[in-house]
């Protein structure tokens, strides 16, 4: 295999992307742990349930939506269930499946946590960019996601806020 190495410009872009991928999760986790006693993934699970019809999703659908394995999601949902933020119950349409429902306390937790989370996202990402750069970031994200998700299995999740 003859690999073409990255040139200086490509390497500069790649190293920056890696740095973002390494630093941003810690920043988001730190804020949410401090202000809401949640990890970023906990918050993401709660947020996805809060947007679902009836605040209910099958665990398999929630795993797909969050990009988690069922094992990881099950562990996180169990922790959230212990805190009274989520409840699991058998799926009425398929008794072999399990649903997760956001409780009223979970909905309140998302509502209370959202302002601090959004402020953190704004501070570290959105407000650091011009409107033109935001547009470019969306295009760059689409180009990379087209390679990472060539079958479009998750396209509905990452394009749900696109303007018509």
Of 32-36, 54-58, 145-149, 153-157, the poorest mean pLDDT is in: 153-157
Q: Please give the average per-residue pLDDT across 34-53, as a whole number.
A: 97
- Cα distances (Å, whole numbers) of residue 164 to 68, 80, 160, 161: 28, 35, 10, 9
Which tokens go with 43? 């918050």
pLDDT score at 94: 87
pLDDT score at 136: 97
Phi then psi dihedrals of residue 92, to 5 deg: -65, -30
- 54 backbone φψ class: left, alpha, beta (φ>0; ψ -120 to 50): left
pLDDT score at 78: 97
Q: What does the alpha-carbon distance between residue 127 and residue 11 come to, in Å, rounded to a whole number? A: 25
Rg of the chain's alpha carbons, rounded to an integer? 18
Q: Is the pLDDT of residue 163 over 90?
A: no
Note the pLDDT tens digit of each residue in 70-100. 999 999 999 999 999 999 999 998 888 999 9
Residue with the larger pLDDT of the pair 16 and 153 = 16
Note the pLDDT tens digit of each residue in 109-132. 999 999 999 999 999 999 999 999
């Amino acid at each position: 295999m003859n690999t073409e190495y990255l040139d200086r410009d490509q390497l500069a872009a790649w190293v920056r992307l890696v740095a973002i991928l390494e630093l941003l999760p810690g920043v988001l986790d730190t804020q949410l742990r401090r202000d809401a006693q949640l990890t970023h993934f906990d918050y993401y699970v709660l947020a996805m349930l809060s947007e679902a019809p009836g605040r209910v999703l099958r665990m398999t659908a929630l795993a797909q939506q969050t990009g988690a394995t069922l094992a990881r999601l099950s562990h996180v949902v169990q922790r959230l269930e212990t805190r009274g933020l989520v409840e699991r119950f058998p799926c009425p349409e398929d008794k072999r499946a399990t649903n997760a429902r956001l409780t009223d306390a979970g909905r309140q937790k998302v509502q209370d946590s959202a302002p601090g989370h959004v402020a953190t996202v704004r501070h570290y990402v959105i407000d650091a960019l011009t409107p033109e750069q935001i547009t470019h970031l969306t295009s760059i994200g689409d180009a990379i996601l087209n390679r990472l998700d060539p079958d479009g299995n998750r396209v509905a999740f990452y394009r749900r806020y696109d303007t018509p």
